[in-house]
Amino acid sequence: MTRTANTPAGWLDAIGSHISDPVASAAQGNELRMQVQKEWMLDEHALIVWREAWVAR
């Protein structure tokens, strides 16, 4: 994942950097996936909290 300006030039630069170094891009993707799985996946407790917030009693 690359933070970039929302301009054509920004996108082209970001895409170009990923194309030019696929090994680094894959490593960044793996790191991002691990972070999401560790910090952002809903476990049983979090699911209960979300359900209670959304379902009226």
Handedness of CA 30, 34, 39, 43 (dihedral sign): positive
pLDDT band at 57 (very low <50, low <70, confident <90, very high): low
**Residue 11 confidence (pLDDT):** 96
pLDDT band at 1 (very low <50, low <70, confident <90, very high): confident
As a dihedral over the C-alpha atoms of residue 31, residue 32, residue 38, residue 41, rounded to 10 degrees, the angle is: -160
